Chain A
């Protein structure tokens, strides 16, 4: 993606952590943020894949943080020690997520827990750590969660995933109000179908007809990771200091129908 207007937002010197930064939407968000001068902490499980994203960032001095977001107990200490190394953080974009396509009858507590562990509980713990007074910049900051259009529209075999993403949208409103006193903004993005490796993999389970139906459900067609990345940069940007507690639907018109 060619940058055409890098100067409209100024992240110069601001540290932003992006989870799920090794591929897809998370990687695109990190790359786009770097074009606006942000200093990135790329988080994911696979160091090698994170390094691939790192090589695509503009400017130098970014950091890689290989962590397993299911290890909730260790997240707070990890973020605290990160702050010791790099200084105060400005924000976080939680893009990491897991999805399981399962009808209700094939679901289980374990599957639900596995989804909630990453999509909701890790989001909570990361935000708790990043927004701690000893970690976040005293001037305020910005938190963005990548939710999903399935938080708003029903989709068969996505009940557990939808639950986790709907919860994120509710958390956003509560935290936005709670953290406003510290000038910390909290927002989310609900993307529709985006061309990522994860989406392509999920297509393997669908018939050609079902894939076509899914694509056709988006009036503007299927999105790209960069479509979501631009929205994330917009919400994270310090210039948008009066936007908090919203969910921005970036879904090619899917939920407008």
Chain B
């Protein structure tokens, strides 16, 4: 998937308008990324990409860039 496709997916996960989600968006800037939003993200990563977050991952995710990092690490992003 491309970074743009992933950003759209992240917007869906957090029920956010696509234009509000950027590579540099921070967790505190995304209203839907609260504790339940984190559960949605975990479920989405597992169902869509078969990625299970570790406790350490969950504790350190503070931005869209952090999510992209995990997806890159798991070879989900095919460009850049």
Contacts and interface: CB of A to CB of B under 8 A. Distances in A.
Interface of A: 132-134, 178, 181
A132 B15 contact: yes
A132 B15 CA distance: 7
Nearest to B15: A133
Interface of B: 15-17, 31-32, 34, 36
A133 B36 contact: no
A131 to B, nearest CB: 9
A181 B31 CA distance: 11
Nearest to B32: A133
B17 A134 contact: yes
Nearest to B35: A181
Contacts of B15: 132-134
A134 B34 CA distance: 16
Nearest to A133: B15
A171 to B, nearest CB: 16
Nearest to B14: A133
A178 B34 CA distance: 12
9 contacts: A132-B15, A133-B15, A133-B16, A133-B31, A133-B32, A134-B15, A134-B17, A178-B36, A181-B36
A178 B39 CA distance: 12
Contacts of A134: 15, 17
B34 A181 contact: yes
A217 to B, nearest CB: 42
